[in-house]
Structure 1
């Protein structure tokens, strides 16, 4: 058995530092690299791309709404022409930078509010799908496991990678518990590691109400910007590998 571990990287901006990309790149198999719309400056993005290339970590474009001030977490009702162009711009820019350090962009993972919106908003979802296909229809799309987006993207001919989140609680329906609710974000590294082991082995997680929810995923996101993020990521990887589960990018 095998699973992909991914993390959101390249998000530092000027004197403002976000996470520890170098350390996280020693743990994950895929790196979602910011494209400058929600975070990341050119020098930092290039440094992260180079570090990923040196470690053989697959690179994906972490595209966002144009929202530096809000870190891409504010909902935006962009016109289709603007959203398509924004995504094309971001993927193309990151692809050009990646080429200079000997790597390539192999997939797209939307960030923050854009990720959550297109999980169920068909109009914006199809805009993002159209943009990806315009740049390179061979690019994979990382999408929230169990969301309508998975079907829309596959129906449009894209390869879709369903994603689960290591540090997030799930509802009985297999959806993420809103960050506004108590217990939505998990902090116990050992508990999170065992949850992810169960997810890979059985395709289920223990929901916030104590029931068992089905979540089938080919990639697990380990966030790099929260307290104890590295400890949690290391614990997840160690638990999986102890159980004979290989950590391998889906983009190989």
Structure 2
């Protein structure tokens, strides 16, 4: 099985789950990724961002460790703010529904991909932070890690997803970051108030397939000799 890897307009990677009508960001939206949005007249200011950083301090994509990797990603953000970022990225970008997020998770959880191909693609076309984050995250993962581990759908932050007219958090964070959510296809976090800023809730975006530009890179299963490493 293979998946097409492409980039959003700012150079951050998306994967295309086979059979899905969307692409999904390879990683949760990072602080360095969101800061490009903040650099433009988006309506959010420095004070707004400082509030989020008090909830989950910033880690550099150049110097993060396995212990603090959650600090790479933007948390404390509200769904309406994440949607403003989606609109800024362009047509087709949106927060996923719970069904879409879980479809991607189930697909990724069954796969080990040839990440060397993804790094080669990003080194020529993607944003430098995207390449460097993925490269370091791969160093931190055990050899048996599936795509759901590498993409941090498991072991990352909780992520906003739309469930009908409500918002929930999906994912399986490390116990030290947020406990008691183990199975993303069954477990979910239901906030009492979606206007509360929560330090463990971030997001990743999807892009509807009808808005995907031509091109991209096919990321395949690793060869047998690579699986044995």
**Coarse TM-score class (shorter-chain normalised):** under 0.3
TM-score if structure 2 supplies the norm length?
A: 0.27
Q: Give the structure, 1 or 2, with the largest relative contact order (CA under 8 Å, sep 6 or more).
A: 2
State the TM-score, normalizing by the size of structure 1: 0.26
